[in-house]
Structure 1
Amino acid sequence: MNSLYELDAKWRKLLNLDNFLNGLTVHEFVEEISNENSLKDGAAHTGTWEHLNPKPYIRTFESTVKELQRLNTDAESRRGQLEQGVAKYELLHAQRVLQLKGNLETIVKDSNVLDSELTNVTQVVSPLGEKLEKSIKRKNMYAKSVELISYYAAFHADGLSSQLEALRTSKNWKSRARASILVKNLLILTRKVETKSVPRTIGTTALIEDYAQKLETEFLAEFNTAYRENDFDQLTEIAILLNRYNNGLNVIQSFINQHEYFMGVDNDDFTFDEAFKTKLTDPDYHAISYDTQMVHILDEIETLVKNESKVVKRVFESRCAFVLQLLIQKIFLQKIEPRVETRLNAALSLSGLAYVRMLHGLFSLLNQLVKDLTEFFRLGDIEDNGDLTSALERSFNDLFAKTIYDRTKYFDLEKRSLELALAHKTSKFCLGHEKEIYARTLSTKLMNGTSFANDLAFQESGPTSNGKLSQINNFLKNQLEREKRRLNSADSSMSPLPAGKTSNGFDEASKGQEFSLQSIDGMLKCAIESVARILELVPSKANEYTFEIVEVLLMGTVNSYVECGLEVSFSQMTEQDLIRNSELDMSYFHYISRASEMLSLISASIKTVVLPLFVNAPEVKKAVIMISNHHLKRCELLMNIIVDETILAFTQRFLASLAKQKKRDFLPKTQDILDHDTLPASEIVRDLNTLYAQVRRYLKNENLQSFLLQIGSTLSRLLFEHYKKFQVSSVGGIILTKDIIGIQTAVEEWSVDGLIDDFATLRELANLFTVQPEELNSLTDEGHLATLDRRIISAYVDKRDDFNQNSFVSKIGLS
């Protein structure tokens, strides 16, 4: 057993060079050996560290240090031994490297000598090999020439070569392949030796050509038979034979011409069913319309090409892509193009819209066919150089190029169909309000007004020529005239109109309902549909054509619809004589509200749908922004005129009511009339309540707040000036205050912040007539009067019936 202060055996085992501390850190090792001494020392457990005996710890650490010193000595000794061993082996390694270096130099030297000798031998042997190869080729060519001449001699002498015939009729396809090559070479030979000086050579040439024709005809017949019987082995053999004979041109042509898909009678009894016809001609149906018969035909063609490509790849091998090119070209020429033309002509007989929709539908179907076949060819390793894909795309482009790139055959119809759709959607409203619209009273006022005319000064430098806009505008007017004649014609054949119906066939009560966001939304969808077609059909012309579509859209929506609604609004306003009419009708504001929403919708559509299309055409984008701003600005100015005229009319109406104020209204003799408001105040309150009740149904949010603010501000200015004109007694001050409170209550219901202070100030001014003279100073230093111009306060105080200029004013300190 170990002594008390010696290291335990388990700790001594850890102090060796092979496994030092066995993974413990120095701190952990010290802690472990210290804990053992702590267990032996009772002081550690009593917590009286003052009585701790340090000797066991010191002795243990001394033993540990002693053991570590011994271990260090052993480690240094072993390190020295290892360093000596390493030096010894390094020296031995260096000696071996030097020895190997000499051996390697000897090997390299011997290799160079051997390479030099081989080079000399090659220089001698190579020319001999080339000469031998040439000699063998000449021998083979000589043998073939002799054989070929013998066959020619047989034809020349006997009209037929039995040996060649035996090869031709052999069951072995290699013999027949040799026969085809011999016949091919015979044709070359006989045409070279043919001469008029030896007439018989001409006959020999004719015999050989007939024989060659017979050979090829038999091969082609066998090829067609094998194709019908699906004998792919024989098909491959014959294709190889004919490919060696004349590059297989005739067999390829025969394969395509004799294909059963082209042999049958092509019955394309095409007629529109009513449902499809409705989709094509309905301006509110915007999805792409596909002819189901054409979809079925293209599915058949896709299946045919995919199936035949497998046969062609197996039979014609390396010429597979070329054969499929010819097959696809023939399909497009004979099967697809006639059907496309038939359907386009039939659609054109319905309408221009039906035509462009049919064109778009066919383009989309065939474009998808091209994509599907291209992907199939790529995945099937049928082509490797892109020629087949190029031929497929070329056939597709050639099919539509003569239509979509001819402006008269596509875009003019696209543009005209959009104009017709917009005219159709605006016709009902415009014809229902024909009188108001064509009077153009509002537009005339716009152009005659100095400030408004200046706002439109940029019109002359706009991006669109007046001639072009005039042309579009005239077209829309002509369409409305045609629609009017059509309706009148229909009305003349009907029974007498019931009450409430106009001669144009419109219910007077429902005219306003035709001026709606749904109509604008429908027009925008028509325009977006046109733009979508343009982007897909003619992307190279997209910028130019889209700009023209935007022109038509703005003319059809803003000029021919929104402006017409504003003309109707202005007409309804002027007809009712707002200044004198006792019954207010603000329903004409419905058109302003709708027009504002319409302009926002049009502007948002152009910003989100149209402008992003011109990311690479900044000039066109700028032109679209300019023309859009021009049309929108014009409508905003028209709406401003209506609002300003309305405010002016109410100003005159307020003045007319205030003119009814009597001089003695605020100097009553008795208090009996305190329960009654004066006539002007009653009329103004009635007008304000009626105005607000009606206008808030049409104007919303900022538009409503702005309009009411202008009305209220105008009224407050009038009242400020009005009440300075009348003498007011203390009792009359109560009447005046009641008048103002009535007006203030009506205005406060509007919840317009800018007006509350104005009318509160007016009410406090009314208090100047009711308070005692000595209280005027304190009153004018409080509330809204504290910030009011003292001259205004003086003007009101001056109208007190007890006012004395010399004593009264000096007493209260007003000047």
Structure 2
Amino acid sequence: MERAGSSAKSLFPRGPSFSLEDFSSKDFTVRDFIDDLANTAVPANRRSGPAQVQFDPKPLIRTFENALAQLAELSEDLQERESELTSQVRRAEVSHNQTLDTLGRKLDQSIEAFETLNISLNNPGTEVTSESARDTAGGNAAVQIGERLEELDRKRRRARDAGFLIRCWQELSETGQLTSLEDIQKQGNADSKVRCAVISRQLMRISRRLDPISWGQTNGLRNGSSGTAALAPKGHNTREILEKFSETLEQDLLKQFNNSYRRQNFDDMLECTKVLHDFNGGASVIAAFVNQHQFFIDRDQLVNDEVTADSSAWEAIADPDSESPGVEPSLQSLVDEVKIVMQEESFIIKRAFPYYETVLAKFIQRVFQQSIQQRLEAVLEKADSISSLAFLRTLHSSRSYINSLIEDLKSHGLTEHPEPCSAQISQTLDQQLEELFVPYLVGNSYIGREKKNLEELYSSLLLKFTIYHSRRKKPTGHPKAMMLRIAGLKDDQSKNEIEVSEQDGVLSMEYAKRMIRWLAESVRRALELGSASETPKDVSILLNLLLKSMGQVYVETALEAALDQAVSQENSRVEPDMTYLPLIRPAVTITNVMDRFISTVLIRLAESNTTVRRNMEAQKRTGIESIEAKTNNVMKSTVTVVSNWVTKSLNGQKKLDFRPRDGELDSLQTATCLAICTFLSRFQVNATGGLMATQDLSKYVSTLKSWSLTKQVETGVEVLTEVGSLFIVGPEALREKSRNLTSAPAGAVGRKLAKADFKAFVQKRDDSSSVGIQSVLAGL
């Protein structure tokens, strides 16, 4: 507030002066205004001091009289300005109406002229001198007139819409009502609602420019500020009124859209979606279309339904020796229904939405993230409660089936049918598949489950084997019944009650095949469920498990047991028990099978990662060498057992055995020879053993030759050398030796070996079942 100074002295000071700007300030209040006037009226020398003079009202009266006079002048100025603005508005309305009338008359004249021209052109009685030229000229003129008329009609409609828009704004700003617009809305047809939406959107833009106070854009005010300054000049908040009307109109359009959807009126749906897109990007109509879809309403009622409780199906999926029954029936039914619904609704989406790809993407997300995901989680939770294998098989079959759905939808094309899906929709489908299964496949969670499953299966299969050798714990995990069935046990048996036999402690080729088959199934799942970059690490983990379970726990444990039995008999006083020797063959066979599987499957799958592959090769080499070392130790100890027992038996040979008395001869062989031969007949000879047998026979021959033998006996001794070579030569050499055999009965003494003796000796070789040896024996 400014105070006017005085150039001349006066008896009383002049009152303050002010203008309209003083009342337009955002800080203006009536209380402060009165206080300033009162302070101005009291002289400064009377405002303070220890003693106050008697109150004099005259200065206050003069000051307020002066203020009232100035306020009256300002009021008159405002009245004049308002009158002037009102006159301008009226003149503008009159001018606008005159313009509309003029345009209307011109349009009517143009229409009459067009009709007259059209009649003249189509009059058959008109004389034509140059028919083709007149037709061409008349046609061009008609086209030009038609274009001009269309342009005039567009201008007329624009002028009419502009006039209606101005009238609606005047109603809104002066009365706070939208009567004209509401009248159009009440007509109820689709065109009227669309027109209301367009006009309300235009009014919203006008409000933002002409009524910034309602939008909180004047003098720092924000929407919702107290005081009349936050409202339009007439006291109406145009923004709130328009927003309320728009909300009502939007709900009306959504209702119309739903009704049109039920009637399959795609054109009306398209008009609604176009208008609603301008309101909020189409979010409301998309939500209405997706959320209120009958598919979701029906499926929401089935969310809490239990997963199929077919015990036989779950038993089959938890049995590692049976084929997986496939995807769970309720999930399969849902996926099949999704395929049909997606194809049908994509046709509607394409015709009802101008931005149909966005709507289709939202619909896909809702289908996968709500319906399929909820059912998948329920199915996997049920499978996990059965066993680790049931979970993995269910996870694999579910992903395969849903992936087939994705590929079918891509090839169908959906909104692009019959062409394939667009890149955007294909990416959306792939993303939904990934998001469904990423919680189960992220990091090492998946391969960790595969490892846990195989550990449970292997420990169950080898339960009796491990109890026989080391009394290991019972298998953990579920289902307990399935694990005990694999182990061949009853449910009510505890660890200490489990009866085991020697047969439970020997190696079984059938067990090895089952272990390899289970591992191969895990590898196949890992290739389909895991990523290619993680495959080398995954197969490396499975390799470690195989070497530990089959190599160490199974094969090496059996070899260690055999070695302990052999070592314990190296200095035996009784004839050694060689029943442990037959397990050497299955140990070697199982090791060869394991070695080939590792080399041809696991290591080849790790070729993309050189570091991992080399590490796997080193692990395999170490594991195989450990088994070979234990096998060699068993054979070495066995040779020692045999040698020691034969030596002990020969030490018991009596000198008088070869000088029997007449009548005391019960057999042509001594008891020592019979005992040694009987013992050796139980012994299968491998390549190394064959070499040792050859050397022993050579020693026997050289010893016997040192005696004074008859020629006939010496000839028989020479045959022993031929017998020793039968254990070390290959199939081709055996075939050559077989050509020199005689047909004499077994045991006959002569220069040549009999066929029966040849066959008996060769069958003692540990490789006698091979193709090469069998072909030689078959040719005898």
Report TM bin, short chain.
0.5 to 0.7
Post-superposition offset of 1:364: 2.2
Task: For residue 429 of structure 2, give the secondary structure of its aligned residue in structure 1.
Answer: helix
Q: Taking structure 1 as reference, are residues 303 and 224 closer, same or farther at Cα in structure 2, changes over 3 Å only?
A: same
Conserved 8 A contact 1:151-1:164: yes
Letter in 2 for 1:729: S
Using the TM superposition, give the Cα deviation of residue 603 of structure 1 relative to its aligned residue in structure 2, in angstroms.
1.2
- Report if aligned partners of 1:286, 1:526 keep a CA contact under 8 Å in 2: no
**One-letter code of the match for 2:523?**
V
- Provide the residue aligned with 2:765 in structure 1: none
Letter in 2 for 1:418: L
Q: 2:197 aligns with which of 180, 185, 194?
A: 180
Measured after TM superposition, the shift of residue 550 of structure 1 is: 1.2
Give CA deviations for 1:279-314 in whole Å, capped at 9, x if unaligned.
Answer: 332233353742111111111112111111111111
Residue by residue over 1:562-605, the C-alpha shift from the partner in whole angstroms, topping out at 9 and shown as x without a partner, is 112212333444556686544x6543222111111111111111
Equivalent of 2:691, from 710, 719, 724? 710
Mapping of residues 21-100 of structure 1, within 5 Å? none
Q: Which amino acid aligns with 2:205?
A: I
Q: Is the 8 A contact 1:558 1:631 kept in 2?
A: yes
The answer for the alignment partner of 2:243 in structure 1 is: 209
The answer for the alignment partner of 2:523 in structure 1 is: 531
**1:382-531 alignment runs, 5 A limit:** 385-407=422-444, 409-434=445-470, 478-479=473-474, 505-506=498-499, 508=501, 510-511=503-504, 515-531=507-523
- Partner SS for 2:631: helix
1:274 aligns with 2:274: no
Q: Which has the higher mean CA deviation after the structures are superposed, 424-433 or 707-716?
A: 707-716
- 5 Å matches for 1:236-385? 236-264=270-298, 265-267=300-302, 268-271=304-307, 272-285=309-322, 287=324, 289-316=326-353, 318-377=354-413, 380=417, 385=422
Alignment-mate amino acid for residue 439 of structure 2: K
User: What is the alpha-carbon distance in structure 2 between the residues aligned to residue 302 and residue 628 of structure 1?
Assistant: 47
Maintained 8 Å contact 1:579/1:653: yes
Determine the structure 1 residue equivalent to 2:651: 659
| Distance (whole Å) between structure 1 residues aligned to residue 285 and residue 696 of structure 2 | 98
Q: Is the 8 A contact 2:566 2:641 kept in 1?
A: no
Instruction: For structure 1, list consecutive stretches of 5 or more residues without a partner in the other structure.
Output: 1-135, 436-476, 496-501, 696-703, 760-781, 784-815
- CA apart distance, 1:756: 9.3
Q: Distance in 2 between matches of 1:528 and 1:336?
A: 30
Check 1:171–1:493 CA distance in 2 against 1; reply closer, same or farther (3 A cut): closer
Counterpart of 1:709, as a letter, is: G
Measure how far apart 1:138 and its partner are: 12
Correspondent of 2:608 among 606, 611, 616 = 616
Count of residues paired in the alignment? 560
CA contact (8 A) 1:320 1:382 kept: no
How far apart are the structure 1 equivalents of 2:603 and 2:580? 34
Question: Could you say what secondary structure the match of 2:355 adopts?
Answer: helix
In 2: Cα distance, 1:250 partner to 1:431 partner: 68
Matching residue of 2:53: none
1:591 equivalent to 2:627? Answer no
More helix by share: 1
Task: Indicate the SS of the match to 1:242.
Answer: helix
- 1:322 aligned partner, one-letter code: T
Query: Match for residue 167 of structure 2?
Result: 150
2:630: which partner in 1?
A: 638
Amino acid across the alignment from 2:456: L
Is this contact kept in 2: 1:148–1:182, CA < 8 A?
yes
1:564 pairs, out of 552, 557, 560, with 557
2:698 touches 2:721 (CA, 8 Å); kept in 1? no
Is 1:544–2:579 an aligned residue pair?
A: no
SS in structure 2 of the partner of residue 270 of structure 1: coil
1:222 aligns with 2:203: no
User: Can you list the C-alpha shifts for 1:736-793, whole angstroms capped at 9, x where unaligned?
Assistant: 765665x568657758469999x9xxxxxxxxxxxxxxxxxxxxxx99xxxxxxxxxx
The 10-residue stretch of structure 1 (375-384 or 274-283) with the greater mean CA deviation from structure 2: 375-384
- The one-letter amino acid of 1:554's match is L
Alpha-carbon separation, structure 2, partners of 1:184 and 1:197? 20
| Cα 1:280–1:491 shift into 2, 3 Å | closer
Distance 2:251 2:384 in 1: 48
Paired with 2:441 and 2:569, the residues of 1 have a C-alpha distance of: 54
**Offset at residue 341 of structure 1 (A):** 2.1
The within-5 A match list for 1:575-586 is 580-582=573-575, 585-586=577-578
* Residue identity opposite 1:531 in structure 2: V
Using the size of structure 1 for normalisation, the TM-score is 0.60
| Conserved? CA contact 2:273–2:285, under 8 Å | yes
Question: In structure 2, how many angstroms separate the alpha carbons of the residues matched to 1:199 and 1:174?
Answer: 34
Structure 2: 5+ residue stretches without partners: 1-152, 214-229, 738-750, 753-780
Displacement of 1:342: 2.1
Which of 177-186 and 378-387 deviates more? Answer: 378-387
1:561, distance to aligned residue in structure 2 (A): 0.5
Give the SS at the match of 1:511.
helix
Correspondences of 1:633-782 after superposition (within 5 Å)? 633-661=625-653, 676-691=668-683, 695=684, 705-719=686-700, 722-723=703-704, 728-731=707-710, 738=716, 741=719, 747=724, 752=729
- The CA distance in 2 between the partners of 1:678 and 1:237, in whole Å, is 116
Letter in 1 for 2:690: L
Using the alignment, how far apart are the partners of 2:251 and 2:645 within structure 1? Answer: 105
- Give the match for residue 601 of structure 1: 593
Instruction: Decide whether aligned partners of structure 1 residues 503 and 560 sit closer, same or farther in structure 2, where only a CA change above 3 A counts.
Output: same
User: C-alpha displacement at 1:336, in angstroms?
Assistant: 1.9
Q: Structure 1 146/286 Cα, relative in aligned 2: closer, same or farther at 3 Å?
A: same
| C-alpha spacing 1:314/1:140, structure 2 compared with 1 (3 Å) | closer
- TM normalised by structure 2 equals 0.63
Post-superposition offset of 1:326: 0.8
Q: Structure 1's 170 and 152: CA in aligned 2 closer, same or farther, altered over 3 A?
A: same
CA distance in 1, matches of 2:724, 2:682: 12
Contact 1:654/1:684 (8 A) holds in 2 = yes
Distance in 1 of aligned mates of 2:724 and 2:599? 39
Q: What amino acid does structure 1 have at the position aligned with 2:375?
A: R
* 8 Å contact from structure 1 (residues 420, 479) kept in 2: no
Kindly indicate whether structure 1 or structure 2 has the higher relative contact order, using CA contacts under 8 Å at least 6 residues apart: 1
The alpha-carbon deviation at position 507 of structure 1 amounts to 5.4
Give the secondary structure class of the aligned counterpart of 1:690: coil
Q: Which amino acid aligns with 2:406?
A: V
Which segment is superposed worse, 573-582 or 746-755? Answer: 746-755
Q: Percent identity?
A: 23
The superposition leaves residues 114-157 of structure 1 with CA deviations (integer Å, 9 ceiling, x where unpaired) of xxxxxxxxxxxxxxxxxxxxxx9999989866653332113233
Offset at 1:528? 2.2
In 2 relative to 1, CA 235–385 (structure 1 residues): closer, same or farther, beyond 3 Å?
Answer: same
1:660–1:679 Cα contact (<8 Å) kept = no
Aligned-residue CA RMSD (Å): 4.3
